Structure 1
Amino acid sequence: MSYKSDRPSFQDRLDHFVNVIRTEIVNGIRQEGTYLPAESTLAKQFQLSNKSIRKGLDQLVDEGLIVKIDRVGSMVTTRAKETITLNFGCSLSLTTDFLIDELITLYMQRNPGIRVRRITLNHLSYVKSGEEMIANGLLDVVAFNSPQFQEWTEEGLTPLLEPLTPDPALYPIAEEAFQFDGATYAKPVSFSPVVLCYNKRHFADAGLHEPDSYWTWDDLIDASVKLAKLRDRHGIYFLPASENRYPVFLLQGIGNPPVGSEVNPRMMEGLRKLNELIGNREVFPNYWAQGNDETIQLFAEGQVSVILCTYFNLNELAHLPLDYDICPLPSLRRGDPQKTLLLSIGMSLVRHSKSKEAARQFVEFLSSSTAQNLIRDRTISIPARKEAAERPPIDGLKCPSRYAMFREMLPSFAYHSDIGLPMKSLRILSKWLKEYWSDMITEKTLHENMGELFAAGGKSSNPPTKSTVQ
């Protein structure tokens, strides 16, 4: 099976093309009634194929910014003077997480007097770039995932957002991620736990029962050894240093949040199990993927049998001839209650938006039945609206047979905030873990550093640490 995923670089170029043309039209650089260059000229300028250029032009047509005239070209349309333009800041991943561009197009079709301009925020400094754009009056609506919103509150930035009315038709646990000091600052659109995704064919070939909620990580390691012996593959893979992966092992071991400098022994047990897993070269490849796309690629090509992923990641598998399924994560010990990391994505209204009512309407639309049913019908992502998430999908979308298991997993969900450290401190911990895995520091030093981090309440961006050279 072949799998090719160059979506980030391609999507970046396509977004850049659409954003440039859109900005030039909105700002009057391209005058109404004038024509855009030929498709071949645009393709050369923006390093895209003619087909991709046509896709971008179709988006501009849907937004009402241009009209295609047969055998003539693409003409900038005459826009109504009362047209409202909303600037919407979000991450690039939303284009696949739940087809945000299609939702924007549908919204604009239903509201012809409003244009939504999607602006991709820097994923490496998301909170900072969002804050700067809001401060300069350049955003009306901003999307957050749960760790981004946690960091937003830790930076004291909630006054930049407008409190919203909670919606009882949405999953309460998805909305909890965006509550702070008794107020709700974002409407959840979709959410996902971290789960196991496994190749059913590989398990059958190895004569193994498929994983279930009773499994421990030791069970998974044992199964991975048997899976790895078949042909040229490894048992399991994920990005251990990802802020959406290693916290799983902290959460499974943490029990109650540590007090002072005392690090819960079970938390260290979780980190030891993670270290044991990724250090086993028989089952875990020595491969440093650049992102989740490469992890999905390894799985789709059959080079690994099991991955840790979210429902969002499963959208990359929806149209592949791959026999796969999902199950809850293993636990540290037999009989432990299940626990996994939950990620929520929500939309916030900027308090000082110049088009606040239109922006509020857009936020409400994304959590409405119309938008939520589109997410259910066109993606594998979980809609935040109960009625949409819990109805059967339409034919043609390849969902895992255990798609609905998230409903039974609700009591096991936990957020990054349940670890008891700010996001900046979790990134410091991630650095220490990489040093630990590379034998640059010992487990004793890691434990002492973590104790000092918790003792400081995670407030210092540069807490005192032991020497990283052993």
Structure 2
Amino acid sequence: MEKRTTRSSSRTRLSELVSTLREDILTGKRPVGDYLPSEKTFATDYNLSNQSVRKGLDILVAEGLIEKIPRVGTKVVGASEGAFVTVKLGFHSSVTNEADIHRLLATFQKENPHIRVQAVPTSSTKYSYISEYLSSGILDVVMMNFTNFQECVEAGDTGMLEPLERNKEIYAFLSDGFAAEGKQLVQPFIFSPLILCYNREHFREADLPEPDSSWQWKDLIDYSSKLAIPGERLGFHCDLYSSNRWPLLLLQTGKKFERYEDGRLKLEGTAMMDALRYCGEMRHSIPSLLEGVTTGESELLLAKGKASIIMTSYFYLNYLLGERLSFDIAPVPHLGTPITMLLNTGLAVNRQSQVKDAAVKLVEFLTGYQAQLFVRQHTYTLPARKAAAEWVGDEKRYRPSRFSLFRETIPGFRYFTDLAIGASELADINQELKMYWAGLETEEALCAQIEKRPVVETM
């Protein structure tokens, strides 16, 4: 055990000693019957006086967790009925459906009666909230998507995250996305590539072949025109304004953002500006595309027969659970080379957590085979653990016949960072592109706004 520094107050160090011992006993790390190290050892490890250590141990004696045996030592006697530690988990509210998180937590607490989980909904789009929750100690475990993690790295906040052991049973490309400075800082939990989802009956009625991996964007435009019925349904629908959607088009061009010598982004006269212009033109060529899409709206339109094809993710397929709809999925269209955008969500442990062992235990459970298989069997979401994601057996509900197509598309998975931009730059570009593609901003103004953006130092 490392010796504690003297910068924190003796009261803080004593509280840490008591909290650590309490958690170790309640979680079974120090089993019943074991003897604790001597008071002198604790005093040295925590830079406390023997008298302070004695007072701390007396607290645990009063709680019935330990027993002092004269001339023998201090023995762990276990937790009294009702004793527990509380782990505060910050989770994206959408995961309520995407991974049935509350049922998973109920199972965890049943198997670990001395650990209670307080689930706190957080915003998946605002890293500032996550940072505040971690720094203030409000959360012990927090859910992060890939964008959140990149913002954490760019802000120099990785020191707030407890390094975790890399799990070899989880897809390596997911773990790589949450590593920095040679450390695994977030454990992958669930993931999804962008995909197409379509109404099979609409294709049969129109006597059209269903989408396949050969589809390019011109095919989508052609078929969506044939499937659309004015005043009745759209041929294709998606939210191309979302930062989890439009980067796909740029990724498929194979272009990257260029920079000036001082590090500022360069747009004017670059191949990326050509790509942005092309994406805008193609976007306007897709018939009947609605704007101002809300979460789950594309899936609702598909379920009601008001759209024939949508661009979505395995996460959002869960909006179709229980719907009486014959639907299937296909890879997203491409520009010649099959490429799709990868969405990755994981779990991080607050390095300053006072119940760190219990927090790690929760993460290990949620990324373990039991919980991951539950996600695979009860939702349409892809679990991060390979054996669970690729499980084959008796399905508990309707599942698209091409559900496992993600396995064949893995070589084409890309993050937005493959465009050579950071998370904060993505957010700024996203705002400007909305106006540019809506015709409210000229190309010259777009370039000027992006290029004047100050360089942000990243870790």
TM score, norm. by length of structure 1: 0.75
Task: Tell me the residue number matched to 2:184.
Answer: 184
1:318 aligns with 2:321: yes
Letter in 1 for 2:184: T
Could you tell me how far apart the structure 2 residues matched to 1:313 and 1:301 are? 15
Shift in CA distance, 173/296, structure 1 to aligned 2, threshold 3 Å:
same
Q: What letter matches 2:102 in structure 1?
A: D
Q: Does 1:237 align with 2:237?
A: yes
Partner residue, 1:421: 421
What is the aligned partner in structure 2 of residue 246 from structure 1?
Answer: 246
Contact kept, 8 Å, 2:193 with 2:314, in 1: the verdict is yes
Change (3 A) 1:174 1:157: same
Between the aligned partners of 2:302 and 2:274, the Cα distance in structure 1 is 28
For the residues of structure 1 that align with 2:142 and 2:252, how far apart are their CA atoms? 31
Please give the secondary structure, in 1, of the residue aligned with 2:296: helix
- Report the equivalent of 1:109: 110
One-letter amino acid of the counterpart of residue 105, structure 1: A
Superposed CA deviations along residues 141-169 of structure 1, whole A, max 9, x for unmatched, are 11111111111111111100111111111
* Contact 1:206 1:230 (8 Å CA) reproduced: no
The residue type equivalent to 2:316 in the other structure is: N
Aligned to 1:99: 100
Partner deviation per Cα, 1:181-215 (whole Å, 9 max, x = no partner): 11111111111001111111111222211111111
Distance 1:284 1:277, change over 3 A: farther
Q: Give the corresponding residue for 2:373.
A: 373
Task: Tell me, yes or no, if structure 1 residue 300 matches structure 2 residue 316.
Answer: no
- The 1-side partners of 2:182 and 2:214 are apart by 37
Q: Does 1:285 align with 2:312?
A: no
Distance 1:436 1:165, change over 3 A: same
Paired with 2:120 and 2:247, the residues of 1 have a C-alpha distance of 29
Match of 1:430 in 2: 430
| Offset, 1:396 | 2.9
Which position in structure 2 is the counterpart of 1:121? 122
1:28-64 residue CA offsets vs partner (Å, 9 max, x unmatched): xxxxxxxxxxxxxxxxxxxxxxxxxxxxxxxxxxxxx
416-425 or 191-200, larger mean C-alpha shift: 416-425
| Structure 1 spans left out of the alignment, 5+ residues | 1-78, 461-470
CA contact (8 A) 1:254 1:267 kept: no
Greater C-alpha Rg: 2
Partner Cα distance (1:427, 1:256) in 2 = 16
* TM-score, L = length of structure 2: 0.77
Return the alpha-carbon distance in structure 2 between the equivalents of residues 137 and 230 of structure 1: 54
CA distance change for structure 1 residues 330 and 275 in 2, over 3 Å: closer, same or farther?
A: same
Alpha-carbon distance in structure 1 between the residues aligned to 2:210 and 2:272: 28
Contact 2:239 2:291 in 1 (8 A): no
**More deviation in 84-93 or 391-400?**
391-400
Distance of 2:106 and 2:157 partners within structure 1: 30
What letter matches 2:327 in structure 1? Y
The one-character-per-residue Cα deviations of 1:224-269 (angstroms, maximum 9, x if unpaired) are 1111147721111111211101111121124355354554955445
Residue equivalent to 2:144: 144
Match of 1:206 in 2: 206
Q: Distance in 1 between matches of 2:447 and 2:401?
A: 41
In the superposition, relative to structure 1, how do residues 176 and 159 fare at CA in structure 2: closer, same or farther (>3 Å)? same
1:279 counterpart SS class: helix
The RMSD of aligned alpha carbons is: 2.2
SS of match in other structure, 1:302 = coil
Percent same amino acid among aligned pairs?
35
How many Å separate the matches in 2 of 1:266 and 1:218? 21
Which range is displaced more, 159-168 or 271-280? 271-280
Judge conservation of contact 2:256–2:272 (CA < 8 Å) in 1: no
Q: Once the 2 structures are TM-superposed, how far is the Cα of residue 435 of structure 1 from its aligned partner?
A: 1.1
What is the rounded CA distance, in whole Å, between the counterparts of 1:116 and 1:193 in structure 2?
Answer: 30
What residue number does 2:162 align with?
162
Structure 1's 449 and 340: CA in aligned 2 closer, same or farther, altered over 3 A? farther
Aligned residue in 2 for 1:331: 334
Structure 2, unmatched stretches of 5+, are 1-79
Shift of 1:422: 1.9
* Residues 87 and 116 in structure 1, CA contact (< 8 A), matched pair in contact too: yes
Look up the SS of the partner of 2:370 in the other structure. Answer: helix
Match of 1:23 in 2: none
Task: After TM superposition, give the deviation of residue 457 of structure 1 in Å.
Answer: 5.2
How much does 1:352 deviate? 1.2
Shift in CA distance, 218/450, structure 1 to aligned 2, threshold 3 Å: farther
1:89 is aligned with what amino acid? G
1:393-412 deviation line (CA, Å, top 9, x unaligned): 53332211111111111111
SS of equivalent to 1:102: helix
Q: How far apart in 2 are the matches of 1:389 and 1:116?
A: 26
Give the corresponding residue for 1:361: 361
CA distance in 2, matches of 1:445, 1:254: 24
CA contact (8 A) 1:190 1:383 kept: yes
Report the equivalent of 1:398. Answer: 398
Return the letter of the residue paired with 2:292. Answer: W
**Following the alignment from structure 1 to structure 2, what is the Cα–Cα distance between the partners of residues 197 and 284?**
17
Check whether the contact 1:236–1:284 (CA below 8 A) recurs between aligned residues: yes
**1:76-132 deviation per Cα after TM superposition (whole angstroms, max 9, x unaligned):** xxx94530100001110111111111111000000001100000113452x212222
Aligned 8 A contact 2:227 2:308 in 1: yes
Q: Distance in 1 between matches of 2:240 and 2:257?
A: 22
Contact 1:88 1:140 in 2 (8 A): yes
Contact 1:253 1:268 in 2 (8 A): no
Deviation at 1:278, TM superposition (A): 3.6
